[in-house]
Amino acid sequence: MQTHQLLKGKKGIIFGAVDAASLAWHVAERCHAEGAELVLTNADFAIQLGDIHTLAEKTNSPLIACDATDTEQIQTLFEQAMQHFGGSVDFILHAVAQSPNIRRKRKYDDVNYTYFQQTLDTSALSLHKILQVAKKMDAIAEWGSVVALSYLAAERPIHSYVDMGDAKALLQSICRSFGLVYGADKHVRINTISQSPTRTNATKNFEEFKIMQVFTDDLSPLGNATPESCADLCAMLFSDYTRFVTMQNIANDGGFAATGLTDSFINNSKFVELRKDERFRD
């Protein structure tokens, strides 16, 4: 891995790493390689079920359990992280999401509203809670950076993504609204990244994930973005090279979000077969 020490001297908190397939895991590895000191955190049950202890050893980082929906636990996390670092943090990654409705294969027009609230609380409101607690504690250094992982479903409905599309839309709204306040007060910048469909522990419950992955890869001029490229982008957004980038949703998707139709998609064997359909006849 080629490094440039973009984050030398910086200190950050990584929310949401579970195992080596997690995007947060890749981000933590890249930030560590770029010279950052880290604190890793996740909910206690996720720590027990995952392999985050291996990541903690690999990056020489303390691991602190925290339910990102609980403001008291968030406050305790910041207190312990600031004590460990000897001061405020420079960056935060929010990679926290879950949908009980998706896990239970509910349809969008038949959601359980208790589950829906849990989806919004875990996947979106947790970012607001983290930022609100951090601001009150002055836990993020001036010109600090916060990145939350989002998805295109915030802008376009994706079949079987159920209530997570609404959660990602709320996540992006919080990014803009809190970015306005935190930016004016402390020059803290807040952005989201919409990543290509990426195989993680979370996406295994998404019925049509493999279809989406093939579809977006065929339709993207550059192909699907890799987890490593997402980590590279996060490191850049945490660095001083992006000090004036804030309140943005950045598509790391090989161009998919901006593409209509490509030659490769038109010439795909499955599409060629589809063109035999009577709808293509004069």
What HEC string does 10-66 produce?
CEEEEECCCCCCCHHHHHHHHHHHCCCEEEEEECHHHHHHCCHHHHHHHHCCCEEEC
Contacts of 10 (CB under 8 A, 6+ apart): 35, 36, 37, 90, 91, 238, 239
**Distance separating alpha carbons of residues 121 and 109, to the nearest angstrom:** 20
Does pTM surpass 0.85?
Answer: yes
The predicted pLDDT at position 270 comes to 63
3-class SS at 190? strand
Per residue of the chain (282 residues), give pLDDT as tens: 788 999 999 999 999 999 999 999 999 999 999 999 999 999 999 999 889 999 999 999 999 999 999 999 999 999 999 999 999 999 999 999 999 999 999 999 999 999 999 999 999 999 999 999 999 999 999 999 999 999 999 999 988 899 999 999 999 999 999 999 999 999 999 999 999 998 877 676 566 777 888 889 989 999 999 999 999 999 999 999 999 999 999 999 999 999 987 777 777 756 666 666 666 665
Q: Is the dihedral of CA 143, 31, 22, 152 positive or negative?
A: positive
Domain ranges of the chain: 11-280
161 burial type by CB count under 10 A (0-12 exposed, 13-18 middle, 19+ buried): buried
In the CATH scheme, what is the code of domain 11-280? 3.40.50.720
Q: What is the DSSP string of 231-253?
A: HHHHHHHHSGGGTT--S-EEEES
**Distance separating alpha carbons of residues 68 and 149, to the nearest angstrom:** 15
Contacts of 173 (CB under 8 A, 6+ apart): none
**Distance separating alpha carbons of residues 160 and 156, to the nearest angstrom:** 12
Cα–Cα distances in angstroms (integers) from residue 95 to residues 44, 193, 199, 230, in the given order: 15, 10, 14, 12
Phi, psi of 37 (to 5 degrees): -95, 140
**Distance separating alpha carbons of residues 186 and 144, to the nearest angstrom:** 8
The predicted pLDDT at position 264 comes to 74
Phi, psi of 132 (to 5 degrees): -65, -45
Q: Which amino acid is at 14?
A: I
